[in-house]
C-alpha cells in the first residue's frame, strides 16, 4: 500500500510554478514577519523607556525643589511640593513615596504608608548613591528611586523619592498600534500572495511558449521555427530540438533517396527482361539460337535482381540490430584463406594473380558469416576492378589490440573525388563497368557496416590508373557497448603510419565508427 502511494507520488509531476510560488512566498513572508515582531517589541520597549525617563525627570525636578526648600526637615515642609508630588503621581497613574534617612515614609501620595518603614532594594542602593529603575514586566509596573540632597555644601542624601507607575496603559496603546500593524501586515500578505502567483506565472511563460511550439512539431510540423531565447535554458532546449529535427530531416531525406535508388535499381533488370521478352514476342519466327541467347540474358537479369535483393536484405538486417552479431573466437588466417580459395577461379578467369601473405597467426572475436562477406567484397572488387594480368595482394597482420587485413590491387584505381562516396549505398564510379561485372553498388556499404559493427575501421588509399588499397582494422576482442556508451577512440597515429607505409597510392579516405 505504502509503496503504491509512493509510486503514485513519484509519477505525479508538479508544475514548476508551484515551487516558484512557494519560494516567492517564503522570501516575501519571512522578512515581513521578522520585521513585524521586532518593530512591535522595540515599540513597546521605547514607550516604557520614554515613560521611565519622563517620570525620572519630573522626580528630579521635584527632588531639587525638595532640596532647596529643606523638605526633609519636618518643620519646614513645603505643602506646594506635596501638591506637586500628588499631581505627578496622578499624571503618571502611579504612586510616589518619600523616605527619609531612617527609611521612614514621610510622604505617600496614596496616604497609606506614611509613618511606616520602607526598606526596598532601590531605596538602599539610592542611599548608597546609585539611583536606578526596576521594570516588573509581569506585574506591569516600574519603580525608580531619586535621591533628595541636603541643602548644605556637602550635598548629603537626606531622603529618597520612590516613584512607581503602571505600564498597563502603555501596553494597551502598543496593543492597539499592533492591531493596526497586523491589519496592514495581512493586507501586505495578500498582496504578496498575488504578486508571487503573478511572478511565477510570468517567469514560466517562455517554457509554456516552448511547449506549444514543441507540440506543433510533435504534430508533424517539422518546419516550425524553434527559438525561445528568453532564458539560456530555453535557448539551449530550442537549439537541441532544432538540431534533432535537422538530423531527423536528414534521415528522412536519405531514406527517400534510398527508396528511390532501390526502386531504380530493382526496375533496371525488370526493364531489361521486359525489353528482351517483348522483342522475342514481336518476332514471329525467331531462330532457336536467338531464343536461347535472349533467355540466357533474361536469366542473367533475374540473377542480378536477386543479388540486389539479397544485398539489400543483408544491409537492412545489419541496420536493424547490432545485437544480432554472432561473435565467436575464430582463426582469421583460416577465414581469409577460405575466402581466397572461393575467389581463385574468378581471379584465374580474369587472369589476375591472387597473393596471400599472413604475417602472424591471428585469433579474434568476430561474426564469421558477416566478416567473411565483408572481406569477400573487398577481394572480389580488387579482382573485378583490375587489369588484364594484374595482381591482388592480401595481407593479414596484428598487434596486441587489433588485426589488420590489407587488400591491395594493381587495378583501375578510384579517382580522388569519388573515394569518399564509394562506401555509400548504390554508389558506383563507373556504372557500366559495375553492371558488366555484376555489381550492385551495395558491396562496400555492406563491408563498411560489418566493420563498424565490429567496432573497427576501414581506410582506402587509391590512385587512378595505379590501383587501390583497402585496410581493415578490427579489435581482437569484441566488447559489447551498451547503447549510448562512449566507444574507444581509434589509435589514429598508428593507423596514419600504417597508411603512409602502404604503397603510397595517393589520398587516404577512412571510415570508422563515430564516437
| Sign (positive or negative) of CA dihedral 230, 233, 235, 237 | negative
Residue number with CB closer to ligand ADP (67 or 468): 468
Calculate Rg over the CA atoms of the chain: 53
Per-residue x/- marks for ligand ADP, 213-242, CB under 6 A?
------------------------------
Residue number with CB closer to ligand ADP (211 or 436): 436
DSSP per position, 293-309: HHHHHHHHHHHHHHHHH
Element (H, E) at 210: helix 168-218
Residue number with CB closer to ligand ADP (147 or 443): 443
Rounded to an integer, what distance in angstroms lies between the CA atom of residue 438 and that of residue 441?
A: 9
Q: Which residue reads 585469433 in cell numbers?
A: 363
Q: Which of 495, 468, 508, 334 is nearest to 402 (CA)?
A: 495
Rounded to an integer, what distance in angstroms lies between the CA atom of residue 169 and that of residue 480?
A: 86
The residues near 343 (Cβ < 8 Å, ≥ 6 apart) are 354, 376, 379, 380, 383
Which of 109, 164, 200, 468 forms a contact with ligand ADP (CB under 6 A)?
A: 468
CB 288, min distance to ligand ADP, A? 34
User: Could you tell me which stretch among 237-245, 342-350, 376-384, 479-487 binds ligand ADP (CB under 6 A)?
Assistant: 376-384
Residue number with CB closer to ligand ADP (321 or 432): 432
Rounded to an integer, what distance in angstroms lies between the CA atom of residue 375 and that of residue 371?
A: 6
Work out whether 381 is an interface residue with ligand ADP (CB under 6 A): yes
Per-residue x/- marks for ligand ADP, 405-444, CB under 6 A?
----x-xxxx-------x----xxxx---x----xxxxxx
Residue number with CB closer to ligand ADP (372 or 377): 377
As a three-state string, the secondary structure of 313-346 is HHHHHHHHCHHHCCEEEEEHHHHHHHHHHHHHHH
Rounded to an integer, what distance in angstroms lies between the CA atom of residue 423 and that of residue 444?
A: 5
Residue number with CB closer to ligand ADP (89 or 458): 458
CB 429, min distance to ligand ADP, A? 3
CB 352, min distance to ligand ADP, A? 11
CB 361, min distance to ligand ADP, A? 27
Angle between helical axes of 17-69 and 79-91 (0-180°, round to 10): 170
CB 253, min distance to ligand ADP, A? 21
Residue number with CB closer to ligand ADP (234 or 268): 268
- The size of the interface with ligand ADP (CB under 6 A), counted in residues, is 23
Residues that bind ligand ADP (CB under 6 A): 377, 381-382, 385, 409, 411-414, 422, 427-430, 434, 439-445, 468
Amino acid at each position: 500500500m505504502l509503496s503504491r502511494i509512493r509510486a503514485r507520488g513519484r509519477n505525479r509531476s508538479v508544475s514548476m510554478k508551484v515551487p516558484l510560488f512557494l519560494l516567492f512566498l517564503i522570501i516575501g513572508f519571512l522578512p515581513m514577519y521578522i520585521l513585524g515582531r521586532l518593530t512591535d517589541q522595540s515599540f513597546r520597549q521605547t514607550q516604557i523607556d520614554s515613560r521611565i525617563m519622563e517620570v525620572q525627570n519630573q522626580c528630579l525636578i521635584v527632588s531639587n525643589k525638595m532640596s532647596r526648600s529643606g523638605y526633609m526637615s519636618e518643620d519646614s515642609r513645603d505643602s506646594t511640593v506635596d501638591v506637586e508630588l500628588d499631581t505627578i503621581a496622578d499624571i503618571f497613574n502611579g504612586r510616589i513615596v518619600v523616605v527619609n534617612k531612617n527609611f521612614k515614609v514621610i510622604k505617600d501620595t496614596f496616604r497609606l504608608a506614611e509613618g511606616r518603614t520602607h526598606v526596598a532594594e532601590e531605596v538602599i542602593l539610592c542611599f548608597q548613591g546609585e539611583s536606578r529603575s526596576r521594570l516588573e514586566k509581569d506585574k506591569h509596573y516600574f519603580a525608580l528611586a531619586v535621591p533628595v540632597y541636603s541643602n548644605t555644601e556637602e550635598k548629603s542624601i537626606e531622603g529618597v523619592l520612590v516613584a512607581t507607575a503602571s505600564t498597563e496603559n502603555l501596553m494597551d496603546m502598543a496593543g492597539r498600534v499592533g492591531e493596526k500593524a497586523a491589519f496592514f501586515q495581512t493586507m501586505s500578505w495578500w498582496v504578496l500572495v498575488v504578486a508571487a502567483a503573478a511572478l511565477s506565472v510570468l517567469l514560466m511563460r517562455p517554457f509554456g511558449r516552448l511547449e506549444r511550439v514543441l507540440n506543433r512539431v510533435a504534430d508533424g510540423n517539422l518546419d516550425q521555427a524553434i527559438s525561445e531565447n528568453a532564458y539560456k535554458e530555453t535557448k539551449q532546449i530550442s537549439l537541441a530540438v532544432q538540431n534533432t529535427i535537422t538530423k531527423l530531416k536528414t534521415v528522412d531525406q536519405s531514406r527517400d533517396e534510398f527508396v528511390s535508388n532501390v526502386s531504380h535499381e530493382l526496375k533496371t533488370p525488370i526493364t531489361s527482361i521486359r525489353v528482351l521478352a517483348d522483342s522475342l514476342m514481336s518476332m514471329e519466327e525467331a531462330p532457336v539460337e536467338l531464343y536461347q541467347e535472349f533467355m540466357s540474358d533474361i536469366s542473367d537479369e533475374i540473377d542480378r535482381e536477386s543479388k540486389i535483393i539479397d544485398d539489400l536484405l543483408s544491409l537492412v538486417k545489419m541496420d536493424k540490430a547490432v545485437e544480432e552479431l554472432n561473435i565467436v573466437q575464430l582463426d582469421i588466417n583460416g577465414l581469409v584463406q577460405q575466402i581466397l580459395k572461393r575467389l581463385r577461379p574468378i581471379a584465374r578467369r580474369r587472369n589476375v594473380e591472387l597473393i596471400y601473405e599472413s604475417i602472424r597467426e591471428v585469433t579474434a572475436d568476430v561474426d564469421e558469416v558477416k566478416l567473411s562477406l565483408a572481406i569477400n567484397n573487398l577481394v572480389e572488387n580488387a579482382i573485378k576492378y583490375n587489369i588484364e594480368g594484374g595482381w591482388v595482394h592480401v595481407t593479414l597482420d596484428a598487434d596486441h589490440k587489433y588485426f589488420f587485413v590489407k587488400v591491395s590491387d594493381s587495378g583501375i584505381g578510384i579517382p580522388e573525388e569519388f573515394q569518399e562516396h564509394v562506401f555509400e549505398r548504390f554508389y558506383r564510379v563507373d556504372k557500366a563497368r559495375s553492371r558488366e561485372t555484376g555489381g550492385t553498388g551495395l558491396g562496400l556499404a555492406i563491408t563498411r557496416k560489418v566493420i563498424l559493427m565490429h567496432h573497427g575501421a576501414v581506410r582506402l588509399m587509391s590512385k587512378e590508373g595505379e590501383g587501390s588499397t583497402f585496410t581493415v582494422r578490427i579489435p581482437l576482442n569484441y566488447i559489447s557497448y551498451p547503447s549510448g556508451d562512449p566507444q574507444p577512440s581509434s589509435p589514429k597515429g598508428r593507423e596514419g603510419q600504417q597508411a603512409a607505409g602502404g604503397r603510397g597510392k595517393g589520398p587516404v579516405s577512412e571510415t570508422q565508427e563515430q564516437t
